[in-house]
Homo-oligomer: A and B are copies of this chain.
Amino acid sequence: MALRVAVAGASGYAGGEVLRVLLGHPAVEIGALTGNANAGQPLGSLQPHLLPLAGRVLAETSADSLAGHDVVFLALPHGQSAAVAEQLGADTLVVDMGADFRLRDAADWERFYGSPHAGTWPYGLPELPGARAALEGSKRIAVPGCYPTAVSLALFPAYAAGLAEPEAVITAASGTSGAGKSAKPHLLGSEVMGSMSPYGVGGGHRHTPEITQNLSGVAGEPVTVSFTPTLAPMPRGILATCSARARPGTTAESLRAAYEKAYADEPFVHLLPEGRWPATASVYGSNAVQIQVTHDPHADRIIAISAIDNLAKGTAGGAVQSMNIALGLPEETGLSTIGVAP
Contacts and interface: CB of A to CB of B under 8 A. Distances in A.
B176 A303 contact: no
Contact of A48 (B202, B243, B282): B282
Interface residues on A, range: 35 or more
Nearest to A212: B298
Contacts of A272: 48
Nearest to A11: B185
Contact of A239 (B13, B198, B277, B297): B198
Contact of A188 (B20, B45, B48, B176): B176
Interface stretch (A124-132, A165-173, A213-221, A256-264): A165-173
A334 to B, nearest CB: 11
Contacts of A300: 224
A236 B187 contact: no
Contacts of A297: 203
A298 B224 contact: yes
Nearest to A53: B338
A173 B196 contact: yes
A149 interface: no
A301 B225 CA distance: 10
Contact of A181 (B50, B185, B298): B185
B171 A342 contact: no
Nearest to A174: B196
Given A51-B338, A54-B270, A191-B342, 16 more contacts: A48-B276, A50-B339, A167-B245, A175-B194, A181-B188, A183-B184, A183-B187, A188-B188, A189-B235, A192-B193, A193-B233, A193-B234, A194-B237, A194-B281, A197-B277, A235-B341
Interface of A: 13, 16, 20, 23-24, 44-45, 47-52, 54, 167, 169, 171, 173, 175-177, 179, 181-185, 187-199, 201-203, 208, 224-226, 228, 230, 232-237, 239, 241, 243, 245, 270, 272-273, 276-286, 288, 290, 292, 294-301, 303, 305, 307, 336-342
